[in-house]
Amino acid sequence: MTEVIFNEDGQPVLRGARDPQSGEYYFPFRPLTADGTLRACEETLLSTEGILYTWTRFAGRFYGQIDLPEAVRIQTELGDGPHDIGATYRLTADRTDDKIDWRFERVWRCFRDFGRCGAGA
């Protein structure tokens, strides 16, 4: 099941699903709604930026949960730190052969992040 695809601009996007009746979103994509009524979901592309809900470091890697505007929570690897709950994170991905490695990386915006400027500034 492909969780992340690249759009026509070459940017990574999350492949999700939407319940056309309730408007509820899901990740990853699922063909049927989660309420057990066997209704079909619409395939949809989810937001690529969200807010860090929590994070930790284990065995040299960072992991976090990102809340997207669609009320979907993504469990994922994070890029390098520092990390702060409440900060904004963006989806990034690398494509090698037939494999896509994706993660969320912190977005630094000068006016918000005390002078650190970088991606997203």
Partner 1 sequence: MSGDVFVISGGAVPVHNKYPLGSGRVVARDAGLAALRDAGVNYADMDALYCGVAMPTSPAAVLVGKEFGLTGIPVVQVSNASASGLAAIHAAVDAMQAGRADLVLVIGYDVPTNLDNPIAAQGYLPPPALFGMWAQRRMYDHGTTPETLARIAAKNINYARDIPFASRRPDQPVSAEDVLASRPVADPLTALMCTQWVYGAAAIVLATRRGLDRLPQAPAIVARIEATEFQSEVIGPHHIIEGAIVGPADISRTATEAALRRAGRGRDEIDCVQIHDAFAIEELVYYETLGFAPEGGADALVAQGAFGPGSRARFGLPEFSTDGGLIGRGHPGGPTGVFQAIETLRRFRTTDDQVGLCHMLGAGSTCLAQVYGRVAL
Where on the chain is the footprint of partner 1 (CB under 8 A)?
A: 24, 26-28, 30, 34-35, 53-59, 61, 63-65, 67, 71-73, 75, 77, 85
CB of 6 to partner 1, least distance (A): 21
CB of 8 to partner 1, least distance (A): 27
Which is nearer to partner 1, 33 or 48 (by Cβ)?
33
Which is nearer to partner 1, 61 or 116 (by Cβ)?
61
Which is nearer to partner 1, 55 or 89 (by Cβ)?
55
Q: Where are the beta strands (DSSP E) in 59-119?
A: 61-67, 73-78, 88-96, 99-106
CB of 16 to partner 1, least distance (A): 10
Q: Greatest CA span in the chain, whole angstroms?
A: 50
Residue 31 main-chain phi, psi, to 5 deg: -75, -25
Contact 26, 16 (CB under 8 A): yes
Q: Where are the alpha helices (DSSP H) in 43-109?
A: none
